[in-house]
Amino acid sequence: MAKKPDARPNVSKDDLLKYYREMLLIRRFEEKAGQLYGMGLIGGFCHLYIGQEAVVVGLEAASKEGDKRVTSYRDHGHMLACGMDAKGVMAELTGRIGGYSKGKGGSMHMFSKEKHFYGGHGIVGAQVPLGAGLAFADKYLGNDNVTFTYFGDGAANQGQVYETYNMAELWELPVIFVIENNQYAMGTSMKRATKSETLYGRGVAYGIPGEQVDGMDVLAVKAAGEKAVAHCRAGKGPYILEMMTYRYRGHSMSDPAKYRTREEVEKIKTEKDCIEHVRDLLTQGGLASDEELKAIDKDIKAIVNESAEFAKESPEPPNAELWTDIYA
């Protein structure tokens, strides 16, 4: 049973349907990616975002055109949420020319200048100063864009995160540090990695305000995101959002996730699932019928299947691509 939804009188049906649709796209896409990985069509590392969908969808709902985003290697959800084409993402996963990086980046390294998505970074924590640097550029250029810089609870223990906090606050950079606390850094639970009770609280040492947010509740995420964005756009410097979330799958496709119990995972899935939450809001509030939602499900399935077909049919990059894009 999904959690009993609170009354949310100020959310429109259209908005809820939009969030439902976007979260569902990520989940179905990731399920398909897992399937293609099993078939050997996707190689290397593949980190699925299943369970965490509300974080990116909620924050994208708080953003405007021009805002930037940068994240780690668990990046498929971020790309879909900011409007990148599912076909291009899936074809990158299969290493084809139709992928966002012409097959040269892979699951962990995709970019879209058009959608202001700056990767896709494989070194844990490296995206944090990079995100602050994007914000530095926006401040320098005098616009009011903000940069969403996503990282996990594991990355939160990297030293460069705190180097970045220090400079971001010192220079009042318009950057939102989004800690996606899914509670496991690969196999190490947060309790085994730190005595800090919260991660957002570490910002206090640098003068950066922040808060913990129910990252399984897209509306809570959006509300917190709007607050953080307002802070940044007002020129008050960075803000930290610690999104309490959970990944249903292993760290990567090859992780059996034996460091946590099946019961723990099941409990989150049944009590906290972000998609079920919105579905309940829609159905229990009488805003949408089962038929309407089924139609969306069907739509999403079609988009995902189409992306998988494209990713299979798109040719491998020609050999000459080996030697391009090394220098501009």
Partner 1 sequence: MATQVLMPALSPTMEEGTLAKWLVKEGDTVKSGQILAEIETDKATMEFEAVDEGTVGKILVAEGTAGVKVNTPIAVLVEEGESVTDAPAPAAVAVAATAAEVPATVAAAPVAPSPAPAPAEVRGWPHTDLPAGPTKTMTVREALREAMAEEMRADPTVFLMGEEVGEYQGAYKISQGLLDEFGAKRVVDTPITEMGFAGIATGASWGGLKPIVEFMTFNFAMQAIDHIINSAAKTLYMSGGQMGSPMVFRGPNGAAARVGAQHSQDYAAWYAAIPGLRVCMPYTAADAKGLLKSAIRDPNPVIFLENEILYGRSFEVPAEGDFVVPFGKASILRPGMDVTVVSFGIGCAHALAAAEALVGEGISAEVINLRTLRPIDYDTVLASVMKTNRCVTVEEGFPVGSIGDHLASTIMQRAFDYLDAPVITCTGKDVPMPYAANLEKFALITPAEVVTAVKSVCYR
Please report, as ranges, the residues that interact with partner 1 according to CB under 8 A: 68, 70, 99-105, 109-113, 118-123, 126, 128-138, 140-141, 159-160, 163-164, 166-167, 170-171, 324-328
| Cβ nearer to partner 1, comparing 250 with 317 | 317
| Cβ nearer to partner 1, comparing 170 with 205 | 170
Contacts of 306 (CB under 8 A, 6+ apart): 86, 87
| Cβ nearer to partner 1, comparing 4 with 113 | 113
| Cβ nearer to partner 1, comparing 109 with 301 | 109
154 within 8 A of 163, measured Cβ to Cβ? no
Shortest distance, position 318 Cβ to partner 1, whole Å? 13
Shortest distance, position 168 Cβ to partner 1, whole Å? 8
Token digits for 268? 């989150």
Q: Helices in the chain by DSSP H: which ranges?
A: 13-38, 53-61, 76-81, 86-93, 127-141, 159-170, 190-193, 218-233, 262-272, 274-284, 290-313
Q: Are strands 184-185 and 175-181 parallel, antiparallel or unpaired?
A: unpaired
Amino acid present at 46: C
Q: Which of 61, 56, 52 is nearest to 12 (CA)?
A: 61
| Cβ nearer to partner 1, comparing 72 with 182 | 72
Q: Are strands 210-214 and 188-189 parallel, antiparallel or unpaired?
A: unpaired
Q: Which of 7, 96, 11, 17 is nearest to 294 (CA)?
A: 17
Shortest distance, position 267 Cβ to partner 1, whole Å? 38
CA distance 262 to 257: 9
Shortest distance, position 159 Cβ to partner 1, whole Å? 7
Q: Reduced to 3 states, what is the DSSP secondary structure of residue 117? A: strand
Shortest distance, position 72 Cβ to partner 1, whole Å? 13
| Cβ nearer to partner 1, comparing 53 with 138 | 138
Shortest distance, position 134 Cβ to partner 1, whole Å? 4
| Cβ nearer to partner 1, comparing 139 with 231 | 139
Amino acid present at 266: E
CA distance 113 to 292: 34
Q: Reduced to 3 states, what is the DSSP secondary structure of residue 151? A: strand
Shortest distance, position 100 Cβ to partner 1, whole Å? 7
